[in-house]
Structure 1
Amino acid sequence: MKLDNLKALEAFREIIRLGSATAAGRSLGLSQPAVSRLLGQFETELGFKLFHRSKGRLLPTSQALLLFEEVDLALQGVERINVLAQDIRQTNAGQLRVVAPPSFAEGPLVKLVASFLSLHPNIHINVDSRTRPTVMNLVATRTADCGFGKLPLDHPGIRLRPLISSPTVCVLPPAHRLSAGKRPIGARDLAGEPLILVGHRGGDTRMRIDQAFQQAGVRQTVRLEAHNVGAACALAAEGVGIAIVNELLSRHSLWTGVRIRRFAPTIEQEYVFMSSANVRETSLTEAFYEHCRASLGRRRSGSPPPRRG
């Protein structure tokens, strides 16, 4: 069988999905007569009828239903080729689509993107800020080239690579009695102190913080719950309470005038770099990952950034 026009396959698929040539035409941006003509050409080439009419609707024959799955797979293959071609064009043009949750996009990602652009001034980066589930879906479907997140994450369509392990810290107003000193602050030190906690109670980090207080025999005094680290740090700066948050995000908060001290016991949070598991990473995405991992590693160790050659 020869088909010179993919539109015939598309028309067939949309009629199966939508039940009429008119609806298929709207979906494809074609007129109803044009869709009917494509369908007629397809049936002529196949040598058998694909639909029969019933009360104004086109109902597929048994032969059409057998054919539909293969046609759908073939068109999905064509769509994947188009996406890959777009990826290649964007790589050649130096374009990178990055997505991250708001706290990361407004925190560590700012300097990561800025420093990467200073090393690669001719590329273009699009940064999007979304919820964690949306970040994973955008990366899995290759709407975004890469994304950032915190473990645990579970999505069959994404590849995860390690970035940095970040401990949990206490963020305090500078005049607070616990702001001075270098030793970690434990749950017993926080007995009776108003606390600001981030995230929902069933979350992994929140559960580990709760467990630390339970093991110390200390009842938490939770004054406020925030949805992101930036808000928690801002509230701590205003003296509302002591925020127990992630160090990586807290050190990139826009709020100044706070003190940051380690929380004990150590509660590490693992950050990862996400890319689609269904396609090989572009060279630009790979370069961005290596830059991010090296930059975050230097910041934790206190090493200076590299100079441009």
Structure 2
Amino acid sequence: MKLDNIKTLEAFREIIQLGSVTAAARSLGFSQPAVSRLLAQFEAELGFKLFHRSKGRLLPTSQALILFEEVDLALQGVERINVLAKDIRQTNAGQLRVVAPPSFAEGPLVKLVATFLTLHPKIHINIDSRTRPTVMNLVATRTADCGFGKLPLDHPGIRLRPLISSPTVCVLPPSHPLSAGKRAIGAKELAGEPLILVGHRGGDTRMRIGRAFQQAGVHPNVRLETHNVGAACALAAEGVGIAIVNELLSRRSLWTGVCIRRFAPAIEQEYVFMSSANVRETPLTEAFYLHCRAALSGRTRSKPREPRPA
């Protein structure tokens, strides 16, 4: 027996609950002959009678009552599937696998995910914190649905979409003389100051910062290097040195009492949203991207630009 006709099961359940073919047909929006045919076909397929008549009503047999419990459970499952499908279409349900470098995962991503979950409470999100090369590989292989990174990035398997351009800033204690009455601190003013720098020496941002000092005729006094923006800001708060980081990731360190000033000349650091280039983004991934871009657009004055080539 094949129980693949949902209408047949629905007709059976309605007849049990309402006690007549006429009432069942009215409830389902079917004609009475159509419901009678469905019932007859169902009984023929099962090989036993489901109802007998008594005073104008259809009364279920003992076999029908046993069957009803399973049919009702099955139809409830179908109804849940329909609701879930609707939720998925409207990005109200589903799972999102997100990957980002540690500084981003521990910084801006926290607020982005929290606000997204407030808007979409049925969504399940898995966050993974990895190095930049691993982030790209996980996204390209679709192990992760999306990821975050900073340009330049070069991977044939990922699609890049702009998020925000964040200026480079200096993070220092409020008591530091350079924090007084300044909106920006120039490379020349940092001559002799102990510095905390983030990232690889050969990385794009480090090289751009190095060129700024070179053009100012200053040899930077690098006292400490780290790959974590949060650590750099915390060390700056402890008076170890002046951290040169990007504004977006430094914002979460404001509670430590540090002072943030723009670095001059201006060095913009561009953040992007990554997804696999080999498949179309799901509605949920698209909704998350749009949410992130809208949320981040108020974090700095800079407008996001299209990704430039690596």
Shorter-chain TM-score bucket reads 0.5 to 0.7
Alignment of 1:34-183 (within 5 A): 93-183=93-183
Q: Does the CA-based 8 Å contact 1:194-1:221 persist in structure 2? A: yes
Once residues 274 and 132 of structure 2 are traced to their aligned partners in structure 1, the CA distance between those partners, rounded to angstroms, is: 11
Q: Does the CA-based 8 Å contact 1:234-1:255 persist in structure 2? A: no
Provide the aligned length of Structure 1 versus Structure 2: 215
Once residues 250 and 299 of structure 2 are traced to their aligned partners in structure 1, the CA distance between those partners, rounded to angstroms, is: 13
Question: Match for residue 291 of structure 1?
Answer: 291
Deviations 1:40-85 (A, max 9, x none): xxxxxxxxxxxxxxxxxxxxxxxxxxxxxxxxxxxxxxxxxxxxxx
Once residues 119 and 95 of structure 1 are traced to their aligned partners in structure 2, the CA distance between those partners, rounded to angstroms, is: 14
AA in 1 matched with 2:95:
Q
Once residues 181 and 122 of structure 1 are traced to their aligned partners in structure 2, the CA distance between those partners, rounded to angstroms, is: 48
Question: How many percent of aligned residue pairs carry the same amino acid?
Answer: 86
Report deviation, 1:256.
1.3
Report deviation, 1:270.
0.5
Q: Secondary structure at the match of 1:252?
A: helix
Unaligned runs of at least 5 residues, structure 2: 1-84, 303-310
Q: Does the CA-based 8 Å contact 1:237-1:255 persist in structure 2? A: no
Once residues 236 and 273 of structure 2 are traced to their aligned partners in structure 1, the CA distance between those partners, rounded to angstroms, is: 29
Deviations 1:97-137 (A, max 9, x none): 10000000000000000000111111111111011111111
Deviations 1:201-240 (A, max 9, x none): 1111001111111111111111111111111001000000
- Normalised by the length of structure 1, the TM-score is 0.67
AA in 2 matched with 1:107:
G
Once residues 162 and 116 of structure 2 are traced to their aligned partners in structure 1, the CA distance between those partners, rounded to angstroms, is: 18
Q: Secondary structure at the match of 2:177?
A: coil
Once residues 114 and 254 of structure 1 are traced to their aligned partners in structure 2, the CA distance between those partners, rounded to angstroms, is: 19
Unaligned runs of at least 5 residues, structure 1: 1-87, 303-309
Question: Match for residue 233 of structure 1?
Answer: 233
Cα RMSD for the two superposed structures: 1.9
Larger CA Rg, structure 1 vs 2: 2
Report deviation, 1:300.
2.1
Once residues 298 and 222 of structure 1 are traced to their aligned partners in structure 2, the CA distance between those partners, rounded to angstroms, is: 32
Report deviation, 1:255.
5.3
Deviations 1:281-304 (A, max 9, x none): 0000000000000000022259xx
Shift in CA distance, 254/142, structure 1 to aligned 2, threshold 3 Å: farther
Q: Does the CA-based 8 Å contact 2:248-2:299 persist in structure 1? A: no
